[in-house]
Structure 1
Amino acid sequence: MNVQAWQGTPAGSRETRQGWLVVASAMIGVALGLSPIPFYTIGMFAPELSREFGWSFASMMGSIGVQSAVVMVASPLAGFAIDRYGARPVALISLGLFGLCFMSLSLSTGSLTLFYGQWVIMSVLGAGTLSATWTRVVNGWFDKNRGLALGIASSGTGITGFLIKPFAAWIIADFGWRTAFVAIGALPILIGIPMVLWLFRENRKANLAVATPGAEEPVEEYGMTLGQALRSVKFWILAVSFFLISFALTAPTPNLENILRSFKFELAEIGAITASFGLAVIAGRIIGGWLLDRFWAPACAFMILLIPAIGSWLLSGDALGSEGAFAAVLFIGFGAGFEFDLLAFLISRYFGQRNYGVIYGCFYTVIAFGGGLGPVVYGYAFDMTGSYGTALRLGIGFVITGGALLLLLGRYPKWEKEAG
């Protein structure tokens, strides 16, 4: 059997200006998708909905749990659609439907069951706006600078975290919460869809074999099928690793305010400290991506994941000053920003692009499970003990173990195909 080795660079890869424009459009798509918008805005709407309908805060935060549970099922299906029909059409349809679903929350009547049902539909129809859609296309444009490109594209979540809260606060204060749902839901439709139509493109190469000069076909992609990936030890190493990492990095995030409150910080100071989290996420995505291009990714990841471990260690003590609190939030935010860049990079290197969408979707299920479980465990630990110390120390062990497991992945593989 004749084989042709391929070391990870797609045929016709062009790290050109057009590729960076694709990155810019992907960043906007990420920023306006299902992952950041509901997560960063539910806290702004919760007091208004509680006042209007008498819902408890716990029941409203349960909507994030509903989203995580649905995404565990929907993300592999979205990944299959991306592989089958292409990322661009999936992104266009899903952005529009997600925006309409988010706008529909303005019609809430007081039925919590109906509210949860809206979140289920929104999570299914919006799954095409998750990271797999955007990172698949970015991977096709870059090899040498793939980590940096992924980092910039994924920084959209940090941009949302930094900007969406003050925007939501302004709309709610001046026009009411129903108008705010409509205004925020319109963003994916009015901004996201035009950007995807204008700039978001798969990398394509001229095919000299076709009859019509200048015609193009998609770049031929190599790598594992889903079945081959599931039979690979590397798949299960990554699955366990990212369950531990996502648990440890997601669990402190919604609990940060309460963690700092347990150290007797005033509300205004808590707000000032936690505001730095979104900027740290952006830094983690861009700096982490840049480092992935220059060092073996598992070793790079292990070293970077020590940073949020230090952040959790600072929060696990009996006393904490303002400087230590700022450092802890920055360190945890930096690690949280690095997580999705790392996953996209490792999947493209160890499993290839052939079935990237569905493989990424499977790992997103793992992340959704770990990320959904972590905050609950931390909250339960606080309810039982009145402190987050034990939970934070568990998180430290998880993130270090998860990083160490990545060292077992070995060298990047060389993909091979049969000669025709």
Structure 2
Amino acid sequence: MRNYWQFLQQGWPLLVFGFLAVFFGNFGQSFFISWYGAAIQADLNLSASTYGAAYSFATLVSGSALMFVGGWIDKWSLRRFASTVALGLFVGCLTLAFTHNIVLLVIGFFLVRLFGQGLFPHTGITTMARSFDKNRGKALSIATMGVPVGEVILPILAVLFIAKFGWQMSWAAFALLIPVVFIPCMLFVVRRAHQLGLQVDSEIKAQSLEASVKDQPATQAVGRKQVLRDYRFWLALPVMLSGPFVVTGVFIHQGFILAQKQWSPEWFAACFIFYGVVHGLGSMGVGFLIDRFSATRLLPFKALPIVFALLLLAFANGPWVAWAMLGLLGVSIGCGGPIGAALWAEVYGTEKLGAIRSMTSSFAVWSTAVSPILFGVLIDNGMSIQALMSGVAVYVSAATLMGYMAYRVKK
């Protein structure tokens, strides 16, 4: 604990930056935007399918763009990159604030998904993984706490703002937080980090706890091409995508689940708070495990709670199932973020970490666009909740086995 306190004292400017970047990225996350769905559909006179198509299209395009622009963090200073991302999210929030047709809605969704869901957490997590070596797990845990904190706070603020100002002016109010809160805090902590001699920008030599993908020296940069040619990456990818894929599908189609389980929306909403709390505890706790055992050793275990959650949804009944299911999903998602961020740094080094993370983040974003459509088609074709959740559990189990074989296999 004494060493942990020293770590906080020495690295607090970058830790604050990482937390803030991940927290502000919540403005582009599905759990936050979902609170605006009903108001947007009513105001713009959109059907559920049209609204969903607009959201999925914006998500797919933003995920593709993320792969190209995310690598700029390896070439730009942190101050410049973070300021650009903040400006993009600010414009996205204002676009939604002044939306009056579906075209502006898609543009607004694209901007908040790219800069919010994509680039803001990408900036914070990449900085943590690159700047901290010995305490990488702890740093990633602190930064990724921005998501569960947002899950607890932001829905309440969204409901209050929508009720008081309307959904459009609500987005304008959140937009103002970026120049008033984030940018001044970001400039202060980055300047303080430079003064303390912390590694802030990307002039860092690649470090690897294992041999790089072609048994190159660890100092030789490993980029996207080498990663994509590494079969171990393809073994690890399914288990890395299992969390975003499953959670998005379950949350988007929660109406189907509530009807099947005979849960009230109020009950599920109360249980969702528990999800946010467990998510945060998982994020914090796994950092110590990463620093002790490494992310490569923890990778096979990250999705096991999802398997149990899906089996509970498939075969168990009763109000308690909602608590247990959301708790298990929260543990997996909370642990999965730091494990994934540390994994790429451990195996492929940090010199081109931004390019690698933006690529894997794009895959994750695409998975969140696929699962709602896939689940919806299966549900519309009469698939039972038992068959649906059991089938997804088989996929996650297979992905877990592949993850176990991935980076334990030496080339």
TM-score interval for Structure 1 and Structure 2 normalised by the shorter chain: 0.7 to 0.9
Q: Give the letter aligned to residue 285 of structure 2.
A: I
Number of aligned pairs? 390
Give the Cα separation in 1 of the matches to 2:379 and 2:35.
Answer: 23
How much has 1:125 moved relative to structure 2?
A: 5.3
Picking from 286, 289, 296, the partner of 2:287 is 289
The whole-number CA distance in structure 2 between the counterparts of 1:394 and 1:274 is: 24
The 1-side partners of 2:55 and 2:344 are apart by 26
Q: Point out where structure 1 has 5 or more consecutive residues left out of the alignment.
A: 1-13, 208-215, 414-420
Q: Which has the larger helix fraction?
A: 2
**What is the match of residue 308 of structure 2?**
310
Q: 1:180 and 1:246, CA in 2 relative to 1: closer, same or farther beyond 3 A? A: closer
The one-letter amino acid paired with 2:359 is C
Could you tell me which runs of 5 or more consecutive residues in structure 2 were left unpaired when the two chains were aligned. 1-5, 207-218
Q: Distance in 2 between matches of 1:385 and 1:293?
A: 46
Letter in 1 for 2:327: L
Superimposed CA distance per residue, residues 147-192 of structure 1 (whole angstroms, 9 cap, x where no aligned partner): 1211220121111111111101111111222210101222233222
| Contact residue 310 and residue 393 of structure 2 kept, 8 A | yes
Deviates more, 1:18-27 or 1:121-130: 121-130
Q: Distance in 2 between matches of 1:127 and 1:37?
A: 4
Aligned with 2:18 (options 23, 26, 29): 26
2:389 counterpart of 1:389: no
- Structure 1 Cα separation of the partners of residues 128 and 282 of structure 2: 18
Distance 2:354 2:119 in 1: 12
1:349 positional shift: 0.4
* Equivalent in the alignment of 1:258: 256
Deviation at 1:245, TM superposition (A): 4.6
Rg bigger for which structure? 1
Classify 1:347/1:38 alpha carbon distance in 2 versus 1 (closer, same or farther; 3 Å): closer
In the TM superposition, residue 69 of structure 1 has moved relative to its aligned partner by 0.6
Structure-2 change in CA distance of 1:205 and 1:409 (3 Å): farther
TM-score where L is the length of structure 1: 0.84
Query: Which residue of structure 2 lines up, in the alignment, with residue 196 of structure 1?
Result: 186
2:213 corresponds to which residue? none
Within 5 Å, give how 1:170-209 maps onto structure 2: 170-200=160-190
Deviations 1:303-347 (A, max 9, x none): 342112111111112x51122220111111221222222211110
Amino acid at match of 1:284: G
Distance in 2, Cα, partners of 1:374 & 1:86: 36
Q: 2:223 aligned to 219, 222, 225, which one? A: 225
Distance in 1 of aligned mates of 2:118 and 2:366 = 18
CA contact (8 A) 2:85 2:120 kept: no
Q: Percent identity?
A: 21
> Is the contact between residue 32 and residue 154 of structure 2 (CA under 8 Å) also seen in structure 1?
yes
- The alpha-carbon distance between structure 1 residues 122 and 263, as it changes in their structure 2 partners (threshold 3 A), is closer
Q: Is the Cα contact below 8 Å between 1:284 and 1:334 reproduced in 2? A: yes
Q: Match for residue 34 of structure 2?
A: 43
Aligned to 2:403: 406
Partner residue of 2:140?
A: 150
Q: Take 1:217 and 1:383, find their aligned partners in 2: how far apart are those partners?
A: 48
Q: Secondary structure at the match of 1:265?
A: coil
Partner of 2:338: 341
- How do 1:57-96 residues align onto structure 2 when only pairs under 5 Å count? 57-96=48-87
